[in-house]
Amino acid sequence: MESATASPPRTDVAYTVGKASATDVPSLVALVNSAYRGESSRRGWTTEEHLVGGQRTDTAAIARDIDTPGQMILVLRQAATVCGCVLLEDKADRTCYLGLLTVRPDLQARGIGRRLLAAGEAWAAEHFGSHHVEMTVVELRGELIAWYQRRGYQLTGEIRPFPYEDQRFGLPKRDDLRFVVLRRRIAP
């Protein structure tokens, strides 16, 4: 299994973005959990460790995301090393749900997240026929919400509950967690 905390990829190899397959599941689970939870997540700025402990995802969830029709994960690699990913889900009304945008903590703040976000939006427009991209972000993540707003996403005013009862999404450290919904138009 590839470790999400492996040494940094070589700088002389270009990044590629492609659709994830079943063979990517272990690497994706390690990547996502390392970027959002635990000590390794503190190396990047996307950590949720101060809000939620435990796992962020598991093998069954990632495998389901890859296998479900109308849903897929794009993977960003440098050579054979998984460096980032983004989940896309085709929704009604020409909307794509975008989630799980993840970059290895030691590679954050290098433009990889922007590249993955743009690749996800382009995929949604081309393959799903989406006109809008929608996402949810923990309301207390002000710096992350601001990052998305700088990329054209707007708060919709909609609030969704945090899944406190489902430990597959982690162990909440606060009782005031909830999601805000952001949306961006990507096509006419």
- pLDDT tens by residue, the chain, 188 residues: 344 444 454 444 589 999 999 999 999 999 999 888 877 767 777 778 889 888 889 999 999 999 999 999 999 999 889 999 999 999 989 999 999 999 998 888 888 999 999 999 999 999 999 999 999 999 999 999 999 999 999 999 999 999 999 887 889 999 999 999 999 999 87
Cβ atoms of 117 and 86 closer than 8 Å:
yes
| Structural domains in the chain plus CATH codes | 15-185 (3.40.630.30)
- CB within 8 Å of 72: residues ≥ 6 apart: 19, 20, 65, 66, 87, 88, 123
Q: What is the dihedral of CA 134, 136, 141, 145, to 10 degrees?
A: 10
Q: Give pLDDT, residue 9.
A: 45
- CB within 8 Å of 111: residues ≥ 6 apart: none
The structure's pTM equals: 0.88
Q: Is 155 helix (H, G, I), strand (E, B) or coil?
A: strand
Q: Give pLDDT, residue 155.
A: 98
Task: Name which of 94, 79, 71, 99 is nearest 160 in CA terms.
Answer: 99
Distance (Å, whole) CA 130 – CA 176 = 32
Q: Give pLDDT, residue 13.
A: 54
Q: What is the DSSP string of 22-91?
A: GGGHHHHHHHHHHHHSHHHHTTSS---TTTEES-S--HHHHHHHHHSTTEEEEEEEETTEEEEEEEEEEE
The secondary structure of residue 124, as a DSSP letter, is: I
Cβ atoms of 73 and 87 closer than 8 Å:
yes
Cβ atoms of 184 and 151 closer than 8 Å:
yes
Q: Give pLDDT, residue 134.
A: 98
The secondary structure of residue 148, as a DSSP letter, is: H
pLDDT, tens digit (0-9, with 9 covering 90-100), for 29-80: 999 998 888 777 677 777 788 898 888 899 999 999 999 999 999 999 998 8
- Percentage of the chain beyond pLDDT 70 is 91
